[in-house]
Chain A
């Protein structure tokens, strides 16, 4: 008999996420047969941005997300550079890459150790205090010396992610939320002393990545081989590309691209469309490119269950993130699954950190970092880049020198999207189907799959959960007969 459980809050993520799964016996195994994901918080950033000075977009949009503010700052700056018709000097481009890289390292370390590892480790006797108690203890969890090593590195990684932010602040001013990203480049200047400060921290972080993070990811992969076949999802991958290696905007450390129906293909941002069939928006908001996107709520819409729109690429469901980036660049080919996401993320951390050392050599102390510009009377812009958890797009219209339209599509909007006009499930929903759940009271399998996407719900700006939900519900994983 099918049972539906709702897990809310999904903890150890950024933002507010609710997952509902239906579990039934399939071939004598209790597994997920249906899944829905929804967000529970809405702020309306796109509405707040309208009417503002375009230059302020990089500061406002950073406040969408405290984990990946630098990615929003960069998407906004690329958007503004595009609309203003200017390009930053090489130093400015490289500084943007370095601060973004510092935040990627911070985010990936945070994700592995502090958001994910507890799904796989029995911490009894190791972390016996709140907020790590109460805890899940399942038969397949790592124990003994492996658990002890991973918990020890959980603590060490807290210092490492702090140092990543310290490194980013050398050129970013402070983190989270950098002040130095502006249209036309960066404000912080390049000095030999700052380069040395940055490199010293980077060297320490690279050592941690090489000697600890990569090996802990391998350990997890060898202990949980079944997760190489679980949490597959749509099987289609999409990357926008990130870390410009020259001023052309076409040569990147991680290029954009896609992998659709088992074959590589080119990425053309014009082929993105958002659908609202199962989202609380009027039908007119659907079937639109984000550059002309609209957001008109309709909370009473039949058959809708989320305020997240469903972005699709040529009608196909695509997953975004480190695995997609590494895959379309030929850097990772093992497979698409929950564990592949974790391993590809660790390998990407090394690739970025190693490249950053070379970028430091390209900086020219004293050379310009910033190009002055003026606000255009009328313009449109687009800024495409990557957040740690996947491709990020900002689109804007400027009229009378103020923002008249600002649209953001975040990676979690793709990954946690609902069913679309063709009834295709979103990537997280699809990845959950077929996952066995041994104990309904300890649904760690659900958390492992959901966490593998590194969801960031505050980022998914369209999301609301306004439904008239029952007050006073005490049992939140509530087995109910479906």
Chain B
């Protein structure tokens, strides 16, 4: 039973006014939302920390999580929120999975060691088997967070469980969209769902299957710390000092995401967040990169760019 979709439309209108959704996209959004039945979502959690689900609960820029759950989405299986446990929860997931066309959200990595037995969704169903079962009828597959996208921390060396990202399991699948980050930003998930509702197809992606809408610009190029000292560069000597933190390990020069503009933990529809890692004078960890965390750490050491064959100069 759907109570009202007005709240979501209002939030989307605010977002459109702030330049995130075009008026044409908004018209399409209205049409989509007036139609019966919102997008159906099945949300599976493999080897991860549930941090991306918690981050999703912080959604407000495009729509609040209650608005999404009540008015827009049919989240037919989501273990953190599901009212029932055990067999009733599993049959809800199985019934949903039998009807094609849902959005499959995968959170956490997919362990493949020990025949997948390091992570079970429910008795007899490893996360690996679950992914293979539920991808079949999925219209779109959203790999949410660093672990689901590329393995993430769960696959950190020596990767004891042989954990993999969804793309490594499914291969080049045209339905797959990676939304990395540790955790992923709620706007990256909700904004992508908005795109899917309004356009009905996968958004433009980069080589790592990340939506260009969120992952096209380099953090370093939009970073206030760099901009402020451009022309007369100041480098921070220690953490918490003013200045560019590249020499302290900041990976902003090797990382593409809209964190400097979008920021994190927004308080209102259409508004950007209150802070972000570099805003709090801590170095970017490069958590949206496919080689996070191993290729991005030590986190507090200046790392040469691997493909440039040695230690880079601090400036471009």
Give every chain A residue within 8 A of B8 (Cβ-Cβ): none
Docked pose: A369 CA to B280 CA in angstroms? 12
| Interface residue ranges of A85-140 to B (CB < 8 Å) | 110, 114-115, 118, 123, 127-136
Q: Does A283 contact B (CB under 8 A)?
A: no
| CB <8 Å contact, A43 and B54 | no
With known contacts A9-B79, A12-B81, A473–B124 Cβ distance under 8 A: yes
Q: Does B52 contact A (CB under 8 A)?
A: yes
- Determine the residue in chain A with the shortest Cβ distance to B45: A16
Q: Does A7 contact B (CB under 8 A)?
A: yes
| CB <8 Å contact, A161 and B86 | no
Give every chain A residue within 8 A of B96 (Cβ-Cβ): 130
With known contacts A55-B298, A155-B66, A176–B55 Cβ distance under 8 A: yes
- Determine the residue in chain A with the shortest Cβ distance to B84: A134
Q: Does B158 contact A (CB under 8 A)?
A: yes
| CB <8 Å contact, A66 and B52 | yes
| CB <8 Å contact, A179 and B285 | yes
Q: Does A163 contact B (CB under 8 A)?
A: yes
- Could you say which of A323-331, A352-360, A458-466 contacts chain B? A458-466
- Could you say which of B16-24, B87-95, B164-172, B199-207 contacts chain A? B87-95
Q: Which of B80, B81, B84, B183 contacts A177 (CB 8 A)?
A: B183
Q: Does B192 contact A (CB under 8 A)?
A: no
Give every chain B residue within 8 A of A158 (Cβ-Cβ): 57, 64-66
| Interface residue ranges of A425-480 to B (CB < 8 Å) | 443, 447, 458, 464-478
Docked pose: A223 CA to B303 CA in angstroms? 59
With known contacts A55-B298, A158-B66, A169-B273, A40–B87 Cβ distance under 8 A: no
Most buried by B among A168, A169, A172: A169
- Determine the residue in chain B with the shortest Cβ distance to A123: B83
| CB <8 Å contact, A133 and B83 | yes
| CB <8 Å contact, B156 and A48 | yes
| Interface residue ranges of A140-191 to B (CB < 8 Å) | 155, 158-159, 161-163, 165-166, 168-180, 182, 184-189
Give every chain B residue within 8 A of A369 (Cβ-Cβ): 240
| CB <8 Å contact, A11 and B240 | no
Q: Does A267 contact B (CB under 8 A)?
A: no
| CB <8 Å contact, A12 and B82 | yes
| CB <8 Å contact, A162 and B183 | no
Chain B 49-60 near chain A by CB (<8 Å), digits 1 or 0? 111111101101
Q: Does B150 contact A (CB under 8 A)?
A: no
Most buried by B among A43, A55, A185: A43
Give every chain A residue within 8 A of B66 (Cβ-Cβ): 155, 158-159
| CB <8 Å contact, B163 and A171 | no
Docked pose: A182 CA to B122 CA in angstroms? 37
| Interface residue ranges of A35-70 to B (CB < 8 Å) | 40-44, 47-48, 51-53, 55-56, 59-60, 63-67, 69
With known contacts A158-B65, A464-B118, A63–B182 Cβ distance under 8 A: yes
With known contacts A173-B282, A472-B124, A165–B82 Cβ distance under 8 A: no
Docked pose: A380 CA to B183 CA in angstroms? 30
| CB <8 Å contact, A130 and B117 | no
Q: Does A15 contact B (CB under 8 A)?
A: yes
Give the A-B pair count, Cβ closer than 8 A. Answer: 291
Give every chain B residue within 8 A of A189 (Cβ-Cβ): 240, 281
Give every chain A residue within 8 A of B92 (Cβ-Cβ): 130-131, 134
Docked pose: A372 CA to B241 CA in angstroms? 11
| CB <8 Å contact, B54 and A67 | yes
How far apart are A232's CB and chain B's nearest CB, in angstroms? 22
Q: Does B137 contact A (CB under 8 A)?
A: no
Docked pose: A16 CA to B182 CA in angstroms? 20
- Could you say which of B26-34, B68-76, B221-229 contacts chain A? B68-76
Docked pose: A61 CA to B77 CA in angstroms? 28
Give every chain A residue within 8 A of B90 (Cβ-Cβ): 9, 474, 476
| CB <8 Å contact, A59 and B299 | yes
Q: Does A10 contact B (CB under 8 A)?
A: yes
Give every chain B residue within 8 A of A135 (Cβ-Cβ): 83-84
- Determine the residue in chain B with the shortest Cβ distance to A185: B240
| CB <8 Å contact, A43 and B88 | no
| CB <8 Å contact, B274 and A11 | no
- Determine the residue in chain A with the shortest Cβ distance to B160: A44
- Determine the residue in chain B with the shortest Cβ distance to A15: B50
Q: Does A213 contact B (CB under 8 A)?
A: no
| CB <8 Å contact, A129 and B1 | yes
Docked pose: A126 CA to B90 CA in angstroms? 23
| Interface residue ranges of B162-207 to A (CB < 8 Å) | 163, 182-183
Docked pose: A65 CA to B89 CA in angstroms? 23
- Determine the residue in chain B with the shortest Cβ distance to A107: B54
| CB <8 Å contact, A465 and B75 | no
Docked pose: A266 CA to B77 CA in angstroms? 45
Q: Does A18 contact B (CB under 8 A)?
A: yes
Q: Does B112 contact A (CB under 8 A)?
A: no
| CB <8 Å contact, A466 and B118 | yes
Most buried by B among A59, A179, A185, A473: A179
Q: What is A's interface to B at a CB cutoff of 8 Å?
A: 6-16, 18, 40-44, 47-48, 51-53, 55-56, 59-60, 63-67, 69, 110, 114-115, 118, 123, 127-136, 155, 158-159, 161-163, 165-166, 168-180, 182, 184-189, 197, 368-370, 372, 443, 447, 458, 464-478
Q: A59-B293, A66-B54, A162-B58 are in contact. List 18 more A-B contacts (CB 8 A).
A: A6-B123, A8-B86, A9-B86, A11-B83, A12-B85, A41-B46, A42-B119, A43-B118, A67-B51, A110-B54, A165-B58, A169-B274, A173-B276, A174-B275, A189-B240, A372-B239, A471-B129, A478-B87
Q: List 26 A-B contacts (CB under 8 A).
A: A6-B86, A8-B120, A9-B122, A11-B81, A15-B50, A42-B119, A60-B153, A60-B293, A63-B152, A66-B49, A110-B54, A115-B80, A131-B77, A135-B83, A174-B264, A179-B285, A184-B239, A188-B275, A369-B240, A370-B239, A447-B85, A458-B48, A467-B117, A469-B120, A473-B123, A477-B88
